[in-house]
Structure 1
Amino acid sequence: MANNSTPSTQNNSDEIDLGKLFQLIGRGFNAVFNFILKVFLYVKKNIFILMGLVVVGLAIGIALNRIISKKLKSEIIVKPQLESKNYLYDVIGEIKANLKAKDTLFFKGIGIEKIDFNGLDIEINRVLQEGGSENDIKYLELLQSFENTDAIADIVRAELQNKSSFNHRITIYYKNAEFGKVFTEKILEYINTNNYFNVLLEVYRNNATYRIEENQALLKQVDEIISNYTNNLASKNSEVTNERIILDNQEQVNIADIFQYKTGLIRDIEAKKLELIENKETLSVVNLGQPQVVQKSFFGKNIVLIPLLLILLFFAISILKYLNRRSMSIS
């Protein structure tokens, strides 16, 4: 008999526990519903006050937007040359520190006589390139074909120099468009007045010019060889065997190698001409942006922020009044 009564007792206790659980859930829903209903009734009761606060806040926000001058900015995309990235960040940090200190002597030294520090600031960050990781993987796969060759050292050196010279964005904030333009020009001039890098640039440019002249002289000789070979081939007066030519009784030279050598000379001349263009200054300006208005976030605009603050202040005062009444009833 004892064994038969045990399961029924367990079932009854389970049914009681489930019933209590459903009652608790129902009470929870009722509490939430009552809270929402009270909030709705409170908002309904004070709807005209809230609407008035919104209208007043909008009016104040519009007035402030007209009174307060808009902040402007210029974004300059630059490329540091000759591994001058660290110097670029240091000099921008120096300028930023002098702006915070409002050091007029420093700015007079770089040619800015009258400076308005109101809203003036400068920042720098690297311009990120999309798809960089995928391109890096493809490039590493390509480098494997040059393994254990003399060309790998030059390729790696050039690539490391390129990777360390990403484009960077200098952002200058100001309030007066005319002054901002002058300030930007003077800052770029100051950055490019580093004596160390200017001397290096001069050496680089001289080397590149000399390399171009030498390559052009070699290219002229190669063109003469190819021209003579073509003329002799047409007249059939030269010893030609398997597309090879004999120069001044020396060993035979493959004509394909001569054309390949000519192509290499042309590419080297093109590369050096690009170096002459890029290495004019320590900091090459890729894009000198025009003044533009600083766009604030949605909640950072006065026309939205002030009405929101007034409504929050109203609710805060109401909560304090409610807590005060409750404390008075308890005491």
Structure 2
Amino acid sequence: MSTKENSSEEIDLGQLFTLIGNGFHKLFQFIGSVFKSFFHLIILFLQFIRAHFLKFVIAIIIGIVAGSYWDYKSEKVYRSSMIVEPNFNSAQQLYNNVEFYDELAKQEEFEALAGALKIEVKYAKSIREVKIESFSDQAQKISQFSEFIQGLDSISQKLVDYEDYLENFNNINSKFHRIHIKSTNPRVAKKCRKQIVRSIEENEYFRLQKRINEQNITLSDSIIERQLLELDSLQRFYRKVKMIEASKDIGGTNINLAQSKTGELPEVALLKKVEELQEDKVELNNEKASTDNIINVISDFPNKGVLVNDWFTKKKVLLPLACLGLILIFLLLMELNRYLKQYQN
């Protein structure tokens, strides 16, 4: 009985290994057929390229010649950039204004563009594009996140982390923004700079925000100055008391200046408080300097723009690629038509 059972188990195991072997064999056959088909397609494509190689070369040469002539005859375009720092949440208005200028340039509404930028119509006709983009590196985003967190209450600070802040980060929230102007006149951007900034500074809402900010800074500065004077008077008082104590004999009248709850001497606590107020004053001065204008111009437009010489925008590069693509599509359609005729026969 046991002999029959062993024989049956050996047969079952043999069938299992046979099935596994057949499965691997079919898998390898399938992989081999895929590689074979892929290799076959490559060979067919290479044969197609070899058969029409001369046509491709002629198309590329025609494209290079025509593109070079087109580049030679085209007007030269110059690019100028200005970096600004908007204050009082004026970035959105700045973006709207720049997009308005760009739409006028694209629609060739040169008289309206000249009126909006306060320049002559002949200069407005030279403008091809007006763009704005934000830029901020990781350090700037971390700094902005720190400022954002400080403005929240303790409960909200626990609910917001840096990843959440980045997910909801809007480009308009960036600290710095770059304005580009492309024009056939290399000096027109400098003429537009004044009105681009003035269009924001003449806004009544932003002027009100700036005026209130100046009043708040003046008030905070006066409070700090008054506190520093009071601390100075208190320090002089403590010095007088120390001198009186030093002049008394031991066992005489003593004036006790109690220590603070942290165990610090009053003089030390006063010095620390003075240092804190001086740091606050430094921060206040920095804020006053950075918010002195509604739009801070970090880097102005140059007196003369830079010639746009981007390789991927040149016609002598784009036109050969276009010619090559067209001739390739045409030849493929011809091959498809020939195959359909043979298939029909």
- TM-score, normalisation: structure 2: 0.66
Structure 2 counterparts to residues 7-156 of structure 1, below 5 A: 32-101=38-107, 102=109, 104-105=111-112, 107-108=114-115, 110-114=117-121, 115-117=123-125, 120-130=128-138
Shift in Å, 1:48:
3.4
* 2:203 equivalent to 1:194: yes
Matched residue of 1:83: which SS?
coil
Provide the C-alpha distance between the structure 1 equivalents of 2:36 and 2:281, rounded to a whole number of angstroms: 83
Q: 1:306 is matched with which residue? A: 319
Q: 1:241 is matched with which residue? A: 256
Could you tell me which of 177, 185, 188 is aligned with 1:169? 177
User: Residue 216 and residue 62 in structure 1: after superposition, are their counterparts in 2 closer, same or farther (change >3 A)?
Assistant: same
Shift in Å, 1:130:
0.9
CA deviations over 1:104-158 (Å, ceiling 9, x no partner)? 24642552222434553333344334167877888899999x959xxxxxxxxxx
Provide the C-alpha distance between the structure 1 equivalents of 2:189 and 2:299, rounded to a whole number of angstroms: 16
Instruction: Give the aligned CA root-mean-square deviation in angstroms.
Output: 4.6
Shift in Å, 1:166:
3.3
Q: Which amino acid aligns with 1:216?
A: E
* 2:246 equivalent to 1:212: no
Mapped contact 1:75–1:288 kept (Cα < 8 A): yes
Q: 1:152 is matched with which residue? A: none
CA deviations over 1:151-209 (Å, ceiling 9, x no partner)? xxxxxxxxxxxx99631414223222201221233212222211232233234324423
Unaligned runs of 5+ residues in structure 1 are: 149-162, 246-252
Provide the C-alpha distance between the structure 1 equivalents of 2:196 and 2:145, rounded to a whole number of angstroms: 38
Mapped contact 1:278–1:284 kept (Cα < 8 A): yes
Matched residue of 1:286: which SS?
strand
Q: Percent identity?
A: 17
Matched residue of 1:315: which SS?
helix
- In the alignment of these two chains, the number of paired residues is 304
Matched residue of 2:124: which SS?
coil
- TM-score, normalisation: structure 1: 0.68
Q: Which amino acid aligns with 1:66?
A: Y
- Comparing 19-28 with 260-269, greater Cα deviation is found at 19-28
Q: 2:333 is matched with which residue? A: 320
Provide the C-alpha distance between the structure 2 equivalents of 1:197 and 1:10, rounded to a whole number of angstroms: 82
